[in-house]
A and B are shown apart, each in its own frame.
Chain A
């Protein structure tokens, strides 16, 4: 997987937007950016992924810079239940032996406080 860099921890007030950055300066042209989160004592949960365009789903929005070297996951209205470790992952190109074999780094510990 391409190397990603995330802040170790972040805080956010409940109801405010949480913006989680990720640097992936070595990303290749056909590699996607994936985001997961892991709530304490649970398995990771897939959130969203994108290639070059911004993406939005019911959980979050993903903003990818034009040069694709960084991205930001946005939780528009954070709640206490969004407190978790958030992982930014760039798997090796689609298909091939890397399919589904993800490298989870240390991620960002997001704490949402009242």
Chain B
């Protein structure tokens, strides 16, 4: 069966520091992968999606970037974090047009 993992689960970072969140999927090949963010008290916002290795689409302009170096690996990065980058980051893969399976989430606090 398919599983999705992301890490770290929690991190506290100072403003201006770099960020790297990693997500891996097992049990499927060539999945569509997504990064969502949920700011405190708000809904989920799609940040990036990828349909294949090296193929990244950004949904909103922001301080973050994404990369897909391997088929089942999706990385979210920043060179310099802002306070507004705080939130709950979720990686997901899709089994169908509207069927997403999410990871456990990474809670980022920027101080």
For the residues of A in contact with B, the DSSP-based class is loop
**Across the interface, do B98 and A32 meet the contact criterion of CB distance under 8 Å?**
yes
Q: A44-B90, A100-B94, A100-B100 are in contact. List 15 more A-B contacts (CB 8 A).
A: A34-B99, A36-B100, A43-B90, A43-B92, A46-B101, A49-B98, A95-B97, A99-B32, A99-B94, A100-B34, A100-B97, A100-B98, A101-B34, A101-B49, A104-B36
Q: Flag whether A17 is at the interface (Cβ < 8 A).
A: no
Q: Which residues of B contact A101 (CB under 8 A)?
A: 34, 46, 49, 59
**Across the interface, do A46 and B99 meet the contact criterion of CB distance under 8 Å?**
yes
Q: Flag whether A98 is at the interface (Cβ < 8 A).
A: yes
Q: Which residues of A contact B105 (CB under 8 A)?
A: 41-43
Report the Cα distance A34→B107, complex, angstroms.
26
Residues of B within 8 A of A (CB): 32, 34, 36, 43-44, 46, 49, 59, 88, 90, 92, 94, 97-105, 107
For the residues of B in contact with A, the DSSP-based class is strand
Report the Cα distance A97→B59, complex, angstroms.
12
**Across the interface, do A100 and B49 meet the contact criterion of CB distance under 8 Å?**
yes
Q: Which residues of A contact B32 (CB under 8 A)?
A: 99-100
Q: Give the contact-size bracket for chain A.
A: 20 to 34
Report the Cα distance A44→B78, complex, angstroms.
24
**Across the interface, do B46 and A102 meet the contact criterion of CB distance under 8 Å?**
yes
Report the Cα distance A68→B107, complex, angstroms.
37
Report the Cα distance A102→B97, complex, angstroms.
9
Of B94, B102, B107, the contact of A45 (CB 8 Å cutoff): B102
Within 8 A of B (CB), among A71-106: 89, 91, 94-95, 98-106
Report the Cα distance A44→B101, complex, angstroms.
8
Quick one: closest B residue to A97, CB to CB? Answer: B57
